[in-house]
Amino acid sequence: MSKPVIGITCNTLLAEGTLLPGMIRAFVSTDYIQSVVQAGGIPLLLPSVTDPTIARSQLMAIDGLVMSGGPDIDPSLYGEEPLEKLGVVNPLRDEYELVIVKEAAELKKPVLGICRGIQIINVAYGGTLYQDVSQIPDCTIKHFQSTTQREALWHTVSIEPKSVLTTILGQSAIRVNSYHHQAVKTLAPGFMATAISTDSVIEAIELQNEHFVLGVQWHPEMLAEKSSTMLALFEKLVCEAANNR
Ligand code: MN
């Protein structure tokens, strides 16, 4: 049987300082592509489009979905005004990814959300976000790591024992990297927080009693090449994708 096709959502970038300044480009870090390949899937990049029927057709062409990292989510999408520490938002990508998460839910496609991915999943299913971790009462850890080594692990998360994440990682606590300044605030209905940092920031969420939808706040794609633990997240997605065809 052929390998499952794994869609990866893309960023858009206004390319200045290049040979063609002003061009808008669709792109994703190659770490996502490599991680899917290494896990046994066929990576397929999904650019943001405005037409929901095209988004649906994109989903019909894939067996599983990676919601990749990227810019902040417009807080109006979860009923808040923009606060001072909100970063740049990308309305096209927000609109597209909300459609694609909801379509994936309807078609029961397995989903792995990474960084922005966990956040857009939570918003799409009705949850809210902290626009900046400084809003979190007990947040004391620096969640945007400052290291010269990109693969460096940065902080600890504890894993909920009765979770899919535990079965994937096989550990009750792990060290993760951390490149985020937003985080899940109110958990979306139907989800459980399955990893939490020592300062109480939600670092993973899972849809309960449904098909596979898992979001992590860290970046396993940056670590999967050398870490079988982090690669296991992608292998789980590929396995679910193969089983759900
Ligand atoms: Mn973190």
pLDDT digits (tens, 9 = 90+) for 106-120: 999 999 999 999 999
Instruction: Return the pLDDT at 234.
Output: 98
Instruction: Return the pLDDT at 45.
Output: 98
Catalytic, out of 103, 203, 219, 240: 219
For residue 17, pLDDT over 80 is answered with no
Instruction: Return the pLDDT at 245.
Output: 85
- Give the number of domains in the chain: 1
Pick the closest to residue 62 from 113, 114, 103 (CA basis): 103
Task: Determine whether 115 is an active site residue.
Answer: yes
The dihedrals phi and psi of 74, each to the nearest 5 degrees, come to -55, 120
For residue 155, the surrounding DSSP H or E stretch is strand 155-159
How far, in Å, from the CA of 158 to the mean position of ligand 1?
12
How far, in Å, from the CA of 111 to the mean position of ligand 1?
20
Catalytic, out of 115, 203, 239, 240: 115
Instruction: Return the pLDDT at 244.
Output: 87
Task: Determine whether 221 is an active site residue.
Answer: yes
**Domain containing residue 115:** 5-244
Instruction: Return the pLDDT at 133.
Output: 95
Instruction: Return the pLDDT at 27.
Output: 93
Which spans in the chain are helix H? 30-38, 52-60, 91-107, 116-124, 164-169, 228-243
Confidence of residue 22 (pLDDT cuts 50, 70, 90): confident
- 101-115 exposure pattern, b = at least 16 Cβ within 10 A, e = fewer: bebbbeeebbbbbbb
Instruction: Return the pLDDT at 85.
Output: 95
How far, in Å, from the CA of 217 to the mean position of ligand 1?
6
Question: Among positive and negative, which fits the CA dihedral 164, 153, 75, 81?
Answer: positive
Average pLDDT over residues 157-180: 96
Instruction: Return the pLDDT at 197.
Output: 97
Instruction: Return the pLDDT at 232.
Output: 98
CB 9 within 8 A of CB 66: yes
Confidence of residue 93 (pLDDT cuts 50, 70, 90): very high
For residue 1, pLDDT over 80 is answered with no
Average pLDDT over residues 51-62: 95
Q: What is the CATH number of the domain that holds 228?
A: 3.40.50.880
Instruction: Note the pTM of the prediction, 2 decimals.
Output: 0.96
How far, in Å, from the CA of 200 to the mean position of ligand 1?
10
The CB density around residue 210, as the number of other CB atoms within 10 Å, is 11
How far, in Å, from the CA of 125 to the mean position of ligand 1?
21
pLDDT tens per residue, range 186-207: 999 999 999 999 999 999 999 9
How far, in Å, from the CA of 115 to the mean position of ligand 1?
9
Catalytic, out of 97, 103, 206, 221: 221
Instruction: Return the pLDDT at 23.
Output: 84
Q: How large is the C-alpha radius of gyration of the chain?
A: 17
CB 192 within 8 A of CB 163: yes
CA distance 48 to 7: 12
